[in-house]
Amino acid sequence: MKLPRQSFLALAAIGWVDGSLQRIEAAGLMRAACEAALSPEDLAEVEKATKTKVELASIDVSGMSTWEQVLTYALAAWFAQLDGVVSTSEATTMAELGDALGLADPLRKRAAAAAYDIACLPGGGKPERYDFQQLAARLRERLPQLE
């Protein structure tokens, strides 16, 4: 799973929309960023975003490939429900992220469905057990034309 730093900053912004980033959300975000093999500098920036509120509007998600856009949205769908509830503000921010990424509604739905599929696997609701590589594989199965 390879994604740019902006993907993880966008996830942090989703986590912050309800006023605080929960410890479980921060752990999930950092684990995903580590699995994406971000540089130490990028990891430090993502870690900072787990401690200091970031706004989605301040993150430039342009320039990503369609694959990166869909994978980012899928991770965001998982991340938004990580604490057990998708608040109205999180749902609104998810829609804003989809718009910023330029994703059509059918792609958003497929990405979210793939994230949910993996979250439903044994232990998938826990950030330390969520299988990011399997999420990427599931998206490849559902959307082979994107790679």
Tens of pLDDT, residue by residue over 89-122, are 888 999 999 999 999 999 999 999 988 888 887 7
- Mean pLDDT score, 138-144: 84
Give me the pLDDT at residue 27, please: 87
Tell me the whole-structure pTM to 2 decimals. Answer: 0.88
Give me the pLDDT at residue 128, please: 66
Give me the pLDDT at residue 124, please: 62
Q: How many domains does the chain have?
A: 1
Domain that holds residue 139: 5-146
Q: Is the pLDDT of residue 66 over 70?
A: yes
Rounded CA separation 79/88 (Å) = 14
| pLDDT-derived band at 146, boundaries 50, 70, 90 | confident
Secondary structure of residue 55 in the 3-state scheme: coil
Give me the pLDDT at residue 81, please: 80
Residue in 115, 101, 111 with CA at minimum distance from that of residue 64: 101
| pLDDT-derived band at 43, boundaries 50, 70, 90 | very high
Rounded CA separation 1/91 (Å) = 25
| pLDDT-derived band at 25, boundaries 50, 70, 90 | confident
